[in-house]
Amino acid sequence: MRCISSEFYARPTVGVARDLLGNILVRLLRCGSSKIKRMSGIIVETEAYGFTNDPASHAYRGLTFRNSAMFGDVGRAYIYFTYGSQFCVNISARSSNVKAGAVLIRALQPLEGIEEMKAFRKTDDILALTSGPGKLSQALNINQSLNGYDVTDPNSELHVEYGFSPALIIETGRIGISRGTDKIWRFIIADKVRQGYLNKYASRKKI
DNA sequence: TCGATGATTGAG
DNA sequence: TCAATCATCGAA
């Protein structure tokens, strides 16, 4: 259970997106004075978002209050609210010569705290718990209050630990966007597609 | 200010 | 296929 350090995120965003597959997103839920509930999942789907080279990126038009986490230290959570009801989780990552960048966590395979996830999601369907960026945020009880959290700190309520190296990775264009669709910046663990850990919307798209 | 728009989801 | 739903952003 070792936390991934900040050097990992200080590399080109697209490579970080690919290399995050197979690692573990961990959510520590503080319930009461001393009790800590641990929830986690294997990262099975990611997308990279860049800067001025990427019209689909929130950072494309420059620094704003919302996207400031994409411009700050690498290895920080960038969490935003969208479509009126959903939160999306990103991790800031970029090489030192680039001003902004982040990796969107699109899907997990539930690992620990599955009963809690069922309660937060209001469903018992394992494959529906974290098979989408909005769903995984709901399952892990993640909201904007976690924006900017250091995911390289093992004591952080949201952090990433080492997992395994996937045998086969699928690369596709990003989905749910209208611009920048030519960039092959979406990454998926091949086995997890077959096992059903990606959402239906994602499966409908070309893989 | 104000209107348009989403890195989505669940229901029909 | 389509509505829900609201923070954010750029134009006015």
Residues in contact with strand C, defined as Cβ under 7 Å from any of its atoms = A 58, 61-62, 64-67, 80-85, 144
The token duo for A56 is: 């689909």
DSSP-based helix, strand, coil % in chain A, nearest 5: 25, 30, 45
Interval A191-202: pLDDT, tens: 999 999 997 665
Of A43, A42, A66, A61, whose CA–CA distance to A51 is shortest?
A61
Per-residue pLDDT, A50: 98
Q: What fold, for A6-189?
A: 3-methyladenine DNA Glycosylase; Chain A (3.10.300)
Question: Closest nucleotide to residue A174 (Cα to C1')?
Answer: B7
Taking the CA of residue A44 and the C1' sugar atom of nucleotide B9, their distance in angstroms comes to 19
Taking the CA of residue A8 and the C1' sugar atom of nucleotide B11, their distance in angstroms comes to 41
Calculate mean pLDDT across residues A84-104: 97
Per-residue pLDDT, A1: 76
Inter-residue contact A117 to A105 (CB < 8 Å): no
Per-residue pLDDT, A203: 45
Inter-residue contact A129 to A141 (CB < 8 Å): no
Strand B nucleotides, any atom under 7 Å to a protein CB: 5-10
Question: Closest nucleotide to residue A67 (Cα to C1')?
Answer: C8
pLDDT at A137 over 80: yes
Question: Closest nucleotide to residue A88 (Cα to C1')?
Answer: B7
pLDDT at A204 over 60: no
Question: Closest nucleotide to residue A122 (Cα to C1')?
Answer: B10
pLDDT at A207 over 80: no
Question: Cα separation of A15 and A162, whole Å?
Answer: 16
Calculate mean pLDDT across residues A107-114: 98
Interval A29-69: pLDDT, tens: 988 778 999 999 999 999 999 999 999 999 999 999 999 99
Inter-residue contact A120 to A78 (CB < 8 Å): no
Calculate mean pLDDT across residues A8-21: 98
Interval A149-194: pLDDT, tens: 999 999 999 999 999 999 999 999 999 999 999 999 999 999 999 9
Question: Cα separation of A118 and A100, whole Å?
Answer: 35
The token duo for A32 is: 């009461």
Rg of chain A (C-alpha set): 16
Strand C nucleotides, any atom under 7 Å to a protein CB: 4-10
What does the domain layout of chain A look like in residue ranges? 6-189
Mean pLDDT of chain A: 94
Taking the CA of residue A94 and the C1' sugar atom of nucleotide C4, their distance in angstroms comes to 35
Q: Which residue is nearest to nucleotide B6 (CA to C1')?
A: A83
